[in-house]
Amino acid sequence: MANFWHSWSHSSESQSDSIELETQDDFSDSFMDLEILSNEFTQPNIKLWEFLIEILEDKRFRSIIRWTGPAFGQYHDNEFTMVDPGEVARLFAIRSNKPFTLNYSKFNRILRSYYNKKKLLQKINGKPNTFSFRFNILPYVNRLRLAY
């Protein structure tokens, strides 16, 4: 998937300072991303931990986030890896209906508060972008699996 927010460019040749898409493919990919996320995902009050579990359980997002279990991408011991944390941040911004105000830096701050202050996540030392939920998420995971 093309990165939607990076696919826009400022046109310096234009007198009207218009914003335009770089290519038609960028537009198609971006439209698909937004359509999937707005139809299924927009929920302004969603918590980050809920969002993480939902995209971890959705096979469409295995290229950006996945469980670190022995079977590739399967739930095991609450541990997961963000392969592309920037894309996870972008999707969370869309899902929480804050695509223009929630950037990667703010997402990272929320994530840090989850493992420093709230103690909902534990950062796994020696493994970049790898975390573990510090509470029993299995009931939530099972409920999601029934929904899919």
Which token pair is 136?
A: 């029993």
Q: pLDDT for 135-148, tens place per residue?
A: 988 888 888 777 76
Q: pLDDT for 61-113, tens place per residue?
A: 999 999 997 765 667 778 999 999 999 999 999 999 888 889 999 999 999 99
CATH of 45-147, one of 1.10.3720.10, 3.30.420.240, 1.10.10.10, 1.20.120.1750: 1.10.10.10
- pTM beyond 0.75: the answer is no
With contact defined as beta carbons under 8 Å apart, do 129 and 83 qualify? yes
Which residues in the chain are classed under CATH 1.10.10.10?
A: 45-147
Q: pLDDT for 119-132, tens place per residue?
A: 999 999 999 999 99
Q: pLDDT for 14-68, tens place per residue?
A: 333 333 333 444 434 444 454 555 555 567 788 999 999 999 988 899 999 999 9
Coil/strand/helix, residue 129: coil
With contact defined as beta carbons under 8 Å apart, do 68 and 130 qualify? yes
What's at 88, amino acid-wise?
V
Dihedrals phi, psi of 66, to nearest 5 degrees: -160, 155
With a CB cutoff of 8 Å and minimum separation 6, the contacts of 141 are 53, 57, 75
With a CB cutoff of 8 Å and minimum separation 6, the contacts of 30 are 2, 4, 7, 21
- In what order do the strands lie in the sheet containing 130-133? 65-67, 79-82, 130-133, 121-123
| Per-residue pLDDT at 6 | 35
With a CB cutoff of 8 Å and minimum separation 6, the contacts of 115 are 121, 122, 123, 131
| Per-residue pLDDT at 14 | 33
| Per-residue pLDDT at 77 | 79
